[in-house]
Amino acid sequence: MGWVITMQIRLAGFGGQGVILAGVILGDAAAIEGLNVIQTQDYGSQSRGGHSIADLIISKDPIYDLIVTKADVLLALAQLGYDSTKESLREGGLLIVDTELVQPDREFTGAPFTRIAEEEVGLALTVNMVALGYLVAKTNVVKKESVEEAIRRRVPKGTEEINLKAFRIGYEEGTK
């Protein structure tokens, strides 16, 4: 995709998929690189199963928008997430989906992130890191190493290695 001056990214899924944590890590990686970043989140009142959205605006310039107005990238990990956010993706924007959980009605890229997390990482909970790796590989929004540093800072202590493994597997998938 290549870098533009400002990139608006929306991550959407349901509670329990780790969408918010993925957004925080991506925002942290941007800050590590000295980029300007705003990260916001929106989620349903249920802790599991309700909608979950993380928005990021990452820019080399000052940011004047507080919310994602037209997403350059939309990552959807669940049909609910896609259905409720698809209108926010700008014309020609990049749609990334979990290909086994989302049936989009437009052009997309993606992989079976949840299955990869279960089978290749060995932990379904790491679906967020697999998908984040894929997104970073496809967009080059931040460097792989910056995300790895942010993962080490942000994931629960003792889970760093499995989260790094999941991120790297997703990144590899995204370079294919």
Q: What are phi and psi of 145, to 5 degrees?
A: -65, -35
Say what the pLDDT of residue 71 is. Answer: 97
Instruction: Taking each helix axis as running N to C, give the angle between helix 160-175 and helix 127-139, from 0 to 180 degrees, rounded to the nearest 10.
Output: 40
Asked whether 109 and 98 are in contact (CB, 8 A), the reply is no
Place of tokens 């999941």: 166
pLDDT at 47 over 60: no
Q: What is the pLDDT of residues 154-169, one digit of tens each?
A: 999 999 999 999 999 9
Model's pTM, two decimal places?
0.94
Q: Whole-angstrom Cα distance, residue 91 to residue 99?
A: 21
Please choose, from the candidates 54, 42, 46, 51, the residue with its C-alpha nearest in 3D space to the C-alpha of residue 14.
51
Place of tokens 């890229």: 109
pLDDT at 102 over 90: yes
